């Protein structure tokens, strides 16, 4: 029986999820790209999870034994790192450790498509998180991805996300102006975030890391995906309220906001207008 999306999520629920990360200190293993590795590691730590960036053959599979969640990010796909991804995923399957996929740039080149297809064949993912273009490309829907950025219009992104969730069994997060969270049976749109997030390189990777941190602490992939995406967006809004001169100072504000976010902050939120069922 598939998990249902927690569309009745309250501020208290979000607070409890954040507290679960602090209480459990989940170890999140990242096999990610070097461009955003530092931001990913720091943000994981700011959520009160523990980051480790073990991404070489041999070490990756061994480190996975102690992980609470594993994030595979295809922002760079050298042969050794891809081999390490499969090794870590094999260990995860043996030990029932949830694996999150961030298919960065899939749809941009045949090489990235081949890497993503091989991972989808070999790995049972708990959550798949990508931008509108990446999720559409994985779902077999026409998409336009330029480099690692999604461009164009995606009026049926909910259907694409549900289709991918149905074919993989994963909870799917399609990130954009409004994030879409989907299972094979349903989809919701989330109203959380700020336009400044799109002006900082790596926020997509940081969202993937956030969801992995929540998944490492929570039992259900749907709650981890929805609560992680909401908390990330809310932090993005609060960071924009602080004094900043541009993207660089906003980036610092964002890290500081996540580090300073408390369960009490989230418990006070009214989330009724932030979660809209769309399918």
Q: Tell me whether residue 146 is annotated as binding.
A: no
Tokens of 248: 């660089």
Where on the phi/psi map is residue 152: left (φ > 0), alpha (ψ -120 to 50), or beta? Answer: left
Task: Look at residue 149 and give its three-state secondary structure.
Answer: strand
Q: Let me know: does 61 contact 226? Beta carbons within 8 Å.
A: no
Residue 120 to residue 114: CA distance in whole angstroms: 10
Q: Tell me whether residue 175 is annotated as binding.
A: yes
Q: Tell me whether residue 202 is annotated as binding.
A: yes
| Binding site feature residues for ATP | 129, 175
| Binding site feature residues | 53, 129, 175, 202
| Binding site feature residues for substrate | 53, 202
């Amino acid at each position: 029986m598939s998990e249902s999306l927690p569309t009745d999520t309250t501020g208290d629920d979000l607070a409890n999820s954040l507290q679960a990360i602090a209480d459990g200190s989940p170890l999140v293993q990242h096999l990610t790209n070097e461009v955003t590795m530092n931001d990913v590691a720091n943000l994981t730590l700011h959520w009160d999870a523990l980051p480790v960036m073990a991404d070489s053959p041999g070490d990756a599979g061994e480190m996975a034994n102690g992980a609470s969640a594993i994030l595979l990010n295809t922002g760079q796909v050298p042969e050794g790192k891809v081999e390490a991804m499969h090794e870590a995923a094999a260990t995860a399957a043996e030990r029932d450790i949830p694996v999150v996929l961030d298919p960065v740039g899939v749809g941009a080149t045949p090489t990235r498509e081949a890497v993503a297809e091989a991972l989808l064949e070999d790995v049972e993912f708990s959550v798949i998180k990508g931008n509108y273009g990446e999720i559409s490309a994985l779902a077999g829907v026409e998409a336009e991805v330029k480099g690692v950025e999604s461009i164009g219009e995606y009026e049926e992104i909910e259907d694409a996300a549900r289709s991918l969730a149905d074919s993989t069994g994963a909870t799917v997060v399609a990130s954009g102006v409004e994030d879409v969270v989907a299972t094979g049976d349903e989809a919701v749109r989330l109203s959380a975030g700020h336009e400044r997030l799109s002006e900082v390189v790596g926020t997509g990777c940081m969202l993937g890391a956030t969801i992995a941190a929540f998944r490492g602490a929570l039992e259900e992939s749907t709650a981890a995906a929805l609560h992680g995406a909401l908390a990330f967006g809310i932090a993005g809004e609060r960071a924009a309220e602080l004094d900043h001169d541009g993207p660089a100072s906003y980036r610092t504000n964002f890290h500081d906001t996540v580090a300073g976010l408390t369960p009490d902050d989230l418990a006070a939120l009214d989330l009724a207008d932030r979660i809209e069922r769309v399918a």
